[in-house]
Structure 1
Amino acid sequence: MELELVPRFLLAILVIVVVARIFGMLARKVGQPPVIGEILGGILLGPTLFSGVVTDAVFPTDVRPSLATIASIGVCVFMFLVGLHFDHRLLQGQSRIATTVSLSSIALPFGLGALLALYLFTNHPTDNKLAFILFMGTAMSITAFPVLARILTDKGLIDTPIGGLALACAAVDDVLAWSLLAVVTALADGGGDPWRVLLVVPFAALMLRVVRPLLARLAARHAANGAWAGVGVLAAVAVGLYLSASATEWMGLHAIFGAFLFGVVMPREGAVALRERALPWIEKTSAWLLLPVFFVVAGIKVDLSALNGTALGELALIMLVAVGGKCVGAFASARVNGVRPRHSTVLALLINTRGLTELIVLTVGLQLGMLDRGLYSLMVVMALVTTAMAGLLLPFVYPPERVRRDAAEPDAAALYARER
């Protein structure tokens, strides 16, 4: 970046942080997760309002590449944190129902999304029709695990049996959805060597079987003498994150897959300093700076100012497929497994949450050429609406007094209408 652009760049960063904080607080005041307000703030800073005058004034074209670089770093750090917080212990005792519900809540929206893609392809053609169809199916199948966890905490559901089941389902959903996106990315990226994609499987095995034990031993050794802390921890995490993200990028996938995988292989035991000292700083930097920049960079690409009848019709179909596919798939599968109707409805509303994870997927789709600006804008609206639905509808389905009672005396058997 040229020296004369630094003041304009710093002004852009300041505006982004302030807008994100204000809209995040407003969202929290109306019972929504802050990410709703932050994404909305990013959209309002884009060309949707005032024909892009605000966008051009605050974010001139010569500073946008630097913002895009920070946004990319922010996404990778976020995916690292998602992987770091992924806990396979969520599946203990309920792996069968979590897997069944997750498969149903992915298969139905994926199939409906693929069918919808056949219709949308006429107005939004791409160079790779198959990749477009698979991408739309994948985008409809997403559940936002981190936002879901935040909603469960805010609503007091995190310690209830249905909250635990929802987290388990979302955990399985995350793994399946990222795997689907990896396949789509490999199909859509025609610029690299196809054989490199095949290296993903041995790379994942290497990370899980070799790198993870090495990190655990390294963490335990340094924790014993007090050196595994502070700057050293941050440096080690940064290097590992960079190398893993670069590896998957070289293989023809997106860097986010390497970032997520590195988070998964980070040690749980023996890394107290990482979680107590380094992790809070990483999370604060991500929440206060990196992700808000990502929201604005994504929002600049959303333009809802020229919505017409055709676009509104497409949006209605997108909402029908997204909400219907997720909710019906999760509800029906939960009922087949004996979950009571009320809890099945709660589970369906929670699994329908898409949030930031969907925005990341849509950004990848835009970068790969799977989405044009118009369809991207409609899909972002879908992500916002489906995320807001949980906060709006949960109190009617699962009243606060019922939540408090279930949290005080959790009984997993109360979820089921019959013996499992």
Structure 2
Amino acid sequence: MSSHQLQILFLDLAIILVMARGLGHLASRVHQPPVVGEILAGVLLGPTLLDGALSDTLFPDDVRPVLSGVANLGVALFMFLVGLELEAATMKGHGRATVAAAVGSTAVPFVCGVALAFALLPGHEIRDRSTFVVFIGLAVSVTAFPVLARILTERGLSRTTIGGIALATAAFVDVVAWSGLAGVNASIGAGGSHWRVLLLMPYLAAMVLVVRPLLRRYLVPGDGAAEPGPVKFAVVLVGALLSAAATEAMGMHHIFGAFLFGLIVPRKGARALRADVHDRTGHLTAVLLPVYFVVAGLQVDLGGIGTAGLRELALILLVAVVGKFGGTYLGARVAKLPPRSAATLAALMNTRGLTELVILGIGLQLGLLDNALYSLMVVMAVVTTVMTGPLLSRIGARGPAPDTGTDATRERVGAAP
């Protein structure tokens, strides 16, 4: 890089961090997840304002590839953290209610999304229509697990029964969505070398049967608890990056490798180690991830949306909200959850946040979305995330009442008084 390019890069990173942190803080002040403000920062720095003059000046073409590299590193570490946060115990908890809510929260929005895809096809040039239909179904089915976990904590719902069901349901939904997205990526993302995707199954087997035991032996020696430290953190971080590189080499997206490595990091006896890895990696993503929002925002142009675009946006929002909320509510009611608890769970599952943005970025990369449709889907991701807080307040979802010494109070959280 030339000296001038380096200067622009440093200036861009400073602007991105200031905008993302500033708008993220403002979002928190109005009881919204910070990710809402950070995504809006990316949109505001993109071509929507001043017909692209601002984004072209701040982010010249010769600097954008470097920013994209930084963004990809940030999103890979984010997906590693998502895998690290998923607990098998969380996914298995709460039995019938979780299964019913998860099926409703996955199947109904997916079917609605497939119908939406057929409605959108005539207005967009899509190179692979069948894959596009599946992709849209997955895109409206996803829930932002990390954002959901933070909303539960902020609302005092994390230790309630409905909070546990929400986490278990979101974990199941996201694993299904990521698995489906991996299939979509494999079908068209191998660049003509589809044979490389065949390496995925032996790679998964090696990660689970070889790498995971080796990690456990090194990170959790003997019968004691794993002690955190910079060397162990470096080993885990290097492993996540190598895994990301491996899946990228197979024609898959690098986020799948990072996510997988997060899943295989030992749980038992490694609470302190995982907390240390999570904190250290979290500091890195706090700096790198806002770059992803801006790189994503550079593709969002709402300036020429027009009447037809507004109609499509309305349809996308209607399908996304009704499918997700209705499907989750129906599944929860089938499991005999009280109406308010079912509505609380449905509102929480409608949270999409950064997870949706990652999926949309892959769709754009694979040519499944054009810029216009990508822009509309990003708006949907922001709107559905913003809706969560007001919906919870409207429903009356709240944390547990003071402990009365019985389990009945906790079971009634979110239910009608």
Equivalent residue of 1:73, what SS?
Answer: helix
Whichever residue aligns with residue 405 of structure 1, its letter is A
Contact 1:71-1:293 at 8 Å conserved across structures: yes
Residues 74-85 of structure 1: matches in 2 within 5 Å? 74-85=74-85
54 and 351 in structure 1: CA distance in 2 versus 1, 3 angstrom threshold: same
Q: Which of 363, 380, 399 is matched with 2:361 structurally?
A: 363
44 and 114 in structure 1: CA distance in 2 versus 1, 3 angstrom threshold: same
Aligned equivalent of 1:319: 317
Q: Which of 373, 376, 380 is matched with 1:375 structurally?
A: 373
What is the alpha-carbon distance in structure 1 between the residues aligned to residue 138 and residue 68 of structure 2? 24
Aligned equivalent of 2:265: 266
What is the alpha-carbon distance in structure 2 between the residues aligned to residue 370 and residue 322 of structure 1? 18
Residues 179-258 of structure 1: matches in 2 within 5 Å? 179-189=179-189, 191-221=191-221, 229-230=229-230, 232-258=231-257
What is the alpha-carbon distance in structure 1 between the residues aligned to residue 342 and residue 280 of structure 2? 37
Structure 2 alignment gaps of length 5 or more: none
Shift of 1:186: 1.3
Q: Say how many residue pairs are matched.
A: 413
Residues 126-141 of structure 1: matches in 2 within 5 Å? 126-141=126-141
* CA distances 1:303-343 after superposition (whole Å, capped 9, x unpaired): 00001110001001101110011011100010011000000
Shift of 1:52: 1.6
TM, length-normalised to structure 2: 0.94
Whichever residue aligns with residue 177 of structure 1, its letter is A
Equivalent residue of 1:50, what SS?
Answer: helix
Whichever residue aligns with residue 214 of structure 1, its letter is L
276 and 337 in structure 1: CA distance in 2 versus 1, 3 angstrom threshold: closer
Whichever residue aligns with residue 248 of structure 2, its letter is E
What is the alpha-carbon distance in structure 2 between the residues aligned to residue 335 and residue 125 of structure 1? 40
Shift of 1:199: 2.8
What is the alpha-carbon distance in structure 2 between the residues aligned to residue 229 and residue 127 of structure 1? 49
Aligned equivalent of 1:163: 163
Aligned equivalent of 1:99: 99
Matched, 1:304 2:310: no
What is the alpha-carbon distance in structure 1 between the residues aligned to residue 46 and residue 382 of structure 2? 16
367 and 298 in structure 1: CA distance in 2 versus 1, 3 angstrom threshold: same
Shift of 1:253: 1.3
Shift of 1:222: 9.8
Contact 2:112-2:319 at 8 Å conserved across structures: yes
What is the alpha-carbon distance in structure 1 between the residues aligned to residue 299 and residue 225 of structure 2? 49
Shift of 1:271: 3.9
Contact 2:212-2:266 at 8 Å conserved across structures: yes
Contact 1:156-1:407 at 8 Å conserved across structures: no
What is the alpha-carbon distance in structure 2 between the residues aligned to residue 274 and residue 63 of structure 1? 37
Contact 2:93-2:164 at 8 Å conserved across structures: no
Whichever residue aligns with residue 268 of structure 2, its letter is E
What is the alpha-carbon distance in structure 2 between the residues aligned to residue 34 and residue 7 of structure 1? 28
Matched, 1:405 2:404: no
What is the alpha-carbon distance in structure 2 between the residues aligned to residue 281 and residue 141 of structure 1? 31
Residues 268-287 of structure 1: matches in 2 within 5 Å? 268-271=267-270, 274-287=273-286
Whichever residue aligns with residue 161 of structure 1, its letter is T
212 and 47 in structure 1: CA distance in 2 versus 1, 3 angstrom threshold: same
* CA distances 1:29-68 after superposition (whole Å, capped 9, x unpaired): 0000100000011100111111122212221111111000
Shift of 1:209: 2.4
What is the alpha-carbon distance in structure 1 between the residues aligned to residue 213 and residue 262 of structure 2? 14
* CA distances 1:222-276 after superposition (whole Å, capped 9, x unpaired): 998999621x223312321122112211222111111000000011234466335
141 and 92 in structure 1: CA distance in 2 versus 1, 3 angstrom threshold: closer
Contact 2:78-2:285 at 8 Å conserved across structures: yes
What is the alpha-carbon distance in structure 2 between the residues aligned to residue 180 and residue 406 of structure 1? 42
220 and 330 in structure 1: CA distance in 2 versus 1, 3 angstrom threshold: same
Aligned equivalent of 2:291: 293
What is the alpha-carbon distance in structure 1 between the residues aligned to residue 31 and residue 123 of structure 2? 37
What is the alpha-carbon distance in structure 1 between the residues aligned to residue 339 and residue 85 of structure 2? 30
Q: CA RMSD in A?
A: 2.2
Shift of 1:211: 1.3
252 and 333 in structure 1: CA distance in 2 versus 1, 3 angstrom threshold: same
Q: Which of 334, 341, 344 is matched with 1:343 structurally?
A: 341
Contact 2:76-2:254 at 8 Å conserved across structures: yes
Aligned equivalent of 2:393: 395
Equivalent residue of 1:121, what SS?
Answer: helix
Structure 1 alignment gaps of length 5 or more: none
Shift of 1:16: 0.4
Contact 1:113-1:136 at 8 Å conserved across structures: yes
Contact 1:340-1:415 at 8 Å conserved across structures: no
39 and 223 in structure 1: CA distance in 2 versus 1, 3 angstrom threshold: farther
What is the alpha-carbon distance in structure 2 between the residues aligned to residue 415 and residue 371 of structure 1? 41
